[in-house]
Structure 1
Amino acid sequence: GEYAGLLAIRGYHRSRGEGHRTVCLIPSSAHGTNPASAAMAGMSVVVVRCTEDGNIDVDDLKAKAAEHAQNLAALMFTYPSTHGVFEEGARDLCALIHEHGGQVYFDGANLNALVGLARPGDIGADVCHMNLHKTFCIPHGGGGPGVGPIGVKAHLKPYLPGHVTEGSGHAVSAAPFGSASILPITWMYIRMMGASGLKQATETAIISANYVATRLEAHFPVLYKGRHGRVAHECILDTRVLKDRAGISVDDIAKRLIDYGFHAPTMSFPVAGTLMVEPTESEPKSELDRFCDAMIAISGEAAKVAKGEWPLADNPLVNAPHTAAE
């Protein structure tokens, strides 16, 4: 999806005699696929700094947009941010890029916090891809490749990848028809959920993430929050406090969670030594509580190490996971 969207942007600039526009601005917090896709599309990546609270550094963006105004092709940014926050001023960021002749690529990796509530085009995006594996129910690569359909504004439509049946352009993958085993899953999910159901799923994902953040904040600081002290659809728990207090690492916590019956959340991304928890809309409150109880118990176990009740080199945390016999 990213590659196809960037090719559409590249084609648009070339059609206007501005093929020299090859600079792609990407925040330092971006998923690694963003710069990789930009490089594949023949663009030069310029990194934009982020502030301490995880947001795009607006002053740095303004400076780099102005510096590269003659060659600016696009800005790629994720909303909500990779740090799990509804970043303020997103419309202003998009307007700034447009003022300097660029296009806005909206990374829809976190679209499950927007479906039914907001439209990327209204925010200012020219291109947006959707991760079907996260927002629309397909397995994450299981049964075939991941699928990322893209939507574009009308002015980019002529520059979308072609198709063998149309005799124009070219496909961007070896499977131009997508995956027959995956796409029906998304189609059925959307049909069964309906507009109101999709909106409810989004709202539930946001509420669930904030519930987890609120329950665990006294034990694991929530690294990034919005202006009102809330997160979007995910929260980043700072587990480094246990490393400082007791010498217990995020790896130890992740392995100990297995003993409690959980696969660890995303570990050390986008910040090393943290856990990024994204409950989505799928988990009932009882399961969220079970997870929170496990994390609180682990915090209590680390406290025993910190107090010297358990030795650092030999305790249930560093020895995890345990076999059934143990």
Structure 2
Amino acid sequence: MDASSAQRLWGEHAYLDMCRRILDQGAYRKPDDEEGRYEAFAQPLKFDLRDNKLPLLTTKRMQWKSLAVEMLWFISGSSKIDLLHENNVKIWDIWANEENDVGPLYGYMWRNWWVDPNLVDVNGGRTEIDQLAQVMTTLKERPEARSHVITAWRPDWLKAMSIKPCHVYLQFYRVGDEVSLLLTQRSCDTFLGVPFNIAQYSLLCHLVAHQLGCTAGEFTWMGGDVHIYENHVDQVREQLTREVKQPPKLKIHRTPEGIDGYRFDDFEIEGYEYAQGLKGAISAQGTPKAGTDIDKLRTVKKA
């Protein structure tokens, strides 16, 4: 890849270029009982996080509190959306069941991976693995390792989730005192979801680096099925006409004892200039409200 091609992968300009390609060159699909969509496959983007930059899009107003609290909820490892409600964030209400549970997805898998009973002995007697805590340890003690990995994809558990995980694979990378992150996302709502995910996983990279006494380097986003729903096309076309401004910076006010000790009030965004917000309807994929309550799952022998 030449230098000019590589540069086109970087930042908000690259995100907008990807949107333009999807609309102008992408395949069109209209599955039964689903919104039509334009899509492309295997799209990479890169974002520079150095000097505390945080890639909140500037061509539309981003809901900073919602995306940040959602990441704190992932970090907490809970399958219940109580933390979101405590912060007046309601973006998961459509998927939660009557117990406020969405099933064992995202953060739950990060922090509570159930070990196959046949493999408990080879895992030192552990019945669960805290993937995030494990990565924090390896980043600190063996930064050169190539296994700083977290996965949210577990095929045998998908039916217990209210939606199949979209952002499924994280790999951290440390050189010296700089930490970078790669996120692989299998299904990507380009207008609504992807801007959230870019910003919140960049925030996660900053938090992991901050905990380690390091700085954040780069965030790389790799989208699998990257799509723009037909009822978002007008909004995206409008967004493509807008001026891109410099990304804001993230200030973290304190260092808690652990990665799960951060609170929303610990964060401050500096210099965020943005265009008017653009609204779009959520496409409620998966099986909303059908997630299996974790407390009920725990009464069953772990599989």
- TM-score norm. by structure 1 comes to 0.24
Work out which structure has the larger RCO, using CA pairs closer than 8 Å and 6 or more positions apart in sequence. Answer: 2
Larger radius of gyration: 1
